[in-house]
């Protein structure tokens, strides 16, 4: 369905979950993919080896480290020769309900979550957008969350970071439009990933699945399909948009 032959893609957090599914989908559509990972090189290399086609690479960075991000983006561009599409997928989720969290833990978790989920994506976007502006074309797709709209009572830092990433996406979309760079966000609900599986397989799993009238959660491949659609040339007029992929579990 999609054809990204000759396109170069950087996917952050590509060693598992939505990032892995997205890398696989882009490679199947003909793109060369740089797979970013933070710690698990073996997992990233395993994904790389599974990809259709050749020319793919893995790049490492602690996404919360601005210097490491700049190096990583440079390595991806050097290997691929360019970056046409950026998918900011890397993120973390830590529970820290106010009534059960110490003040010191509260400070630490907020700082870490914002550094990864928001500033990490902001800095990768800066480094890649500078290159895209020179070639006057590109797509930036940020993975946010349903929690940005409905709230995350057990992880307020996560909800806040994703809401801020939505706002950043819209600001960047307006700024980069003259350069023919479209910026969008994808806001999934629950997705059957490694990060969520322990909860989905617990006693809470059935209630989570019932949040959607489809009585299930999303598959990573469904999120990847939406990402690829937003990366197409035909999606330019969607710039600034935030696409909900939550099975009608939350409507706004």
Name the residues annotated as catalytic. Answer: 158
Distance CA 156, CA 110 (A): 8
Distance CA 14, CA 43 (A): 9
Distance CA 125, CA 20 (A): 19
Strand order in the sheet with 32-37: 57-60, 32-37, 8-11, 85-88, 138-143, 181-188, 242-245
Distance CA 191, CA 211 (A): 12
Query: What residues contact 220, with CB distance under 8 A and at least 6 apart?
Result: 17, 18, 20, 21, 22, 191, 192, 193
Q: Is the dihedral of CA 52, 57, 59, 63 positive or negative?
A: negative
């Amino acid at each position: 369905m999609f054809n990204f032959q000759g396109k170069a893609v950087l996917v952050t957090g590509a060693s598992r979950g939505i990032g892995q599914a997205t890398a696989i989908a882009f490679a199947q559509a003909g793109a060369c993919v740089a797979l970013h990972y933070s710690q698990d090189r073996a997992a990233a290399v395993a994904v790389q080896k599974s990809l259709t086609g050749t020319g793919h690479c893995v790049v490492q960075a602690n996404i919360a480290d601005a210097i490491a991000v700049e190096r990583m983006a440079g390595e991806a561009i050097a290997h691929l020769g360019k970056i046409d599409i950026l998918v900011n997928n890397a993120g973390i989720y830590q529970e820290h309900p106010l009534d059960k969290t110490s003040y010191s833990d509260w400070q630490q978790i907020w700082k870490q979550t914002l550094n990864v989920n928001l500033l990490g994506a902001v800095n990768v976007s800066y480094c890649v957008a500078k290159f895209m502006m020179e070639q006057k074309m590109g797509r930036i797709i940020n993975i946010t969350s349903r929690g940005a709209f409905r709230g995350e009572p057990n992880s307020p830092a996560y909800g806040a970071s994703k809401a801020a990433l939505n706002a950043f996406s819209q600001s960047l979309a307006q700024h980069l439009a003259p350069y023919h760079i479209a910026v969008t966000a994808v806001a999934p609900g629950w997705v059957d990933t490694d990060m969520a599986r322990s909860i989905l397989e617990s006693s809470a799993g059935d209630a989570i699945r019932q949040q959607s009238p489809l009585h299930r959660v999303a598959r990573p491949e469904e999120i990847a399909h939406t990402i690829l659609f937003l990366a197409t040339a035909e999606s330019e007029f969607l710039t600034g948009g935030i696409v909900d992929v939550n099975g009608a579990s939350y409507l706004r």
